[in-house]
Structure 1
Amino acid sequence: MLPDALRERAARVKLLALDVDGVLTDGRLHYGPEGEATKVFDVKDGLGLRLLRDEGIAIAIVSAKRSTMLERRLADLKISDACLGREDKRVALDEVRARANASLDEVCFVGDDVLDLPVLRVVGLAATPADGHALVRREVPWVLQACGGRGAVREVCDALLEARGRLEAAVETLLATR
């Protein structure tokens, strides 16, 4: 649930930037018998991202890690703006922000761990999943009700659309095109 004090900031967001592990996933890695790692993504998050994109809000991924399965998921979601394998997330954010023509104040970033703090500290709207690291939860203004990989991204997407008064209209538009 978006706190009322953040509603105005949420209405200004032009770019939603996301960390991956612990945000789009629950942060766990599952290893198969051949040593291959797998991650689990929540389909509700994917639908929320589609609703945002259809409403003209840019989406970008900023992650210190790179993986084939992540690239596959981003392709499935039609997210083409991704800075993967980038240790300096602040620099990566500036790159995606420039492509989206968004000021720092117009960016919502969702991160879950201390490596995300340099970005969370400078954006207009910072959020962390309910199971984000304690230091992050203490520092950001918006602690989500959902956990990473379990609807946290959908919660953000819905709140951003609701702040613009567009959630129901976005859903109806989606349903009309099916």
Structure 2
Amino acid sequence: MTLGIKPEQALRLRLMAFDVDGVMTDGRLYYGPDGEMLKTFNTLDGHGLKKLAASGVTLAIITGRDSAMVARRARDLGIEHVIQGREDKGVALSALAQQLGLSAGEIGYMGDDEPDVPALEWAGLGFAPANAHAAARSAAGTVTEARGGEGAVREVCDSLLRLREGQ
């Protein structure tokens, strides 16, 4: 399955950016007894991200929260562009594109909630997990079968890779 993406869109892709909560995680936040916040990441998603990066697509994270866990996960996956604490995700994505010399048609974004809508609408490819808020699902060109934190990122990565490899 290729999620309705055209091969030429996948081949043009140079940057794929992701929200974290509700996309790379299931959106739940766990607080420990000392007030520390914990997130759970899916290893299948992580492998998909590494494969997509190995294919030549630059990866980025744009998230509304500041989290040491996100910085750590990005380091573990080799994601160098990590933008945290930004609710203006469309502006953040556009600024990153300008910094990298890319146009909207060369960029994909995956988000799950209202703050992601401007980025989803601006990017050439927009993705939302199955359990995303209706506004994000509507703004995204593609909605995955998998839920956020349960393989939605991997589904997007695998679909892009199949198209980029001509399968």
Calculate the TM-score normalised by the size of structure 1: 0.87
After TM superposition, the structure 1 stretch with the greater mean CA deviation from structure 2, 88-97 or 101-110, is: 88-97
Alignment partner of 1:128 is 2:128:
yes
Counterpart secondary structure, 1:121: helix
Cα offset, 1:51, TM superposition: 0.6
Q: What is the match of residue 114 of structure 2?
A: 114
Does the 8 Å CA contact 2:89/2:118 hold for their aligned counterparts?
yes
Counterpart CA distance in 1 for 2:166 and 2:77 is: 21
| Deviation by residue 1:90-132 (Cα, 9 ceiling, x = unmatched) | 2210232234332101111000001111111111110100100
Does the 8 Å CA contact 1:58/1:100 hold for their aligned counterparts?
no
Counterpart CA distance in 1 for 2:5 and 2:63 is: 29
Q: What is the match of residue 70 of structure 1?
A: 70
Does the 8 Å CA contact 2:107/2:123 hold for their aligned counterparts?
yes
Q: What is the match of residue 22 of structure 2?
A: 22
Counterpart secondary structure, 1:126: strand
Does the 8 Å CA contact 2:19/2:63 hold for their aligned counterparts?
yes
Counterpart CA distance in 1 for 2:123 and 2:130 is: 19
Q: How does 1:27-66 map to 2 (within 5 A)?
A: 27-66=27-66
Does the 8 Å CA contact 2:65/2:86 hold for their aligned counterparts?
yes
Counterpart CA distance in 1 for 2:155 and 2:89 is: 23
Counterpart CA distance in 1 for 2:139 and 2:94 is: 21
Moved over 6 A (4+): none
| Deviation by residue 1:17-57 (Cα, 9 ceiling, x = unmatched) | 10111111111001112221100000111111111111111
Does the 8 Å CA contact 1:128/1:143 hold for their aligned counterparts?
yes
What is the identity, as a one-letter code, of the residue corresponding to 1:34? Answer: D
Cα offset, 1:79, TM superposition: 0.8
Q: What is the match of residue 98 of structure 1?
A: 98
| Deviation by residue 1:124-177 (Cα, 9 ceiling, x = unmatched) | 11010010012222332200011111111111111111111267xxxxxxxxxx
Calculate the TM-score normalised by the size of structure 2: 0.93
- Higher Cα Rg, which structure: 1
What is the identity, as a one-letter code, of the residue corresponding to 2:32? Answer: G
Q: What is the match of residue 163 of structure 2?
A: 163
What is the identity, as a one-letter code, of the residue corresponding to 1:117? Answer: V
Alignment partner of 1:149 is 2:149:
yes
Seq. identity, %: 46
**Matched positions, count:** 167
Counterpart secondary structure, 2:145: coil
Cα offset, 1:5, TM superposition: 5.4
Counterpart CA distance in 2 for 1:4 and 1:112 is: 18
RMSD over aligned Cα, in angstroms?
1.6
Distance change in 2, residues 1:108/1:39 (3 Å): same
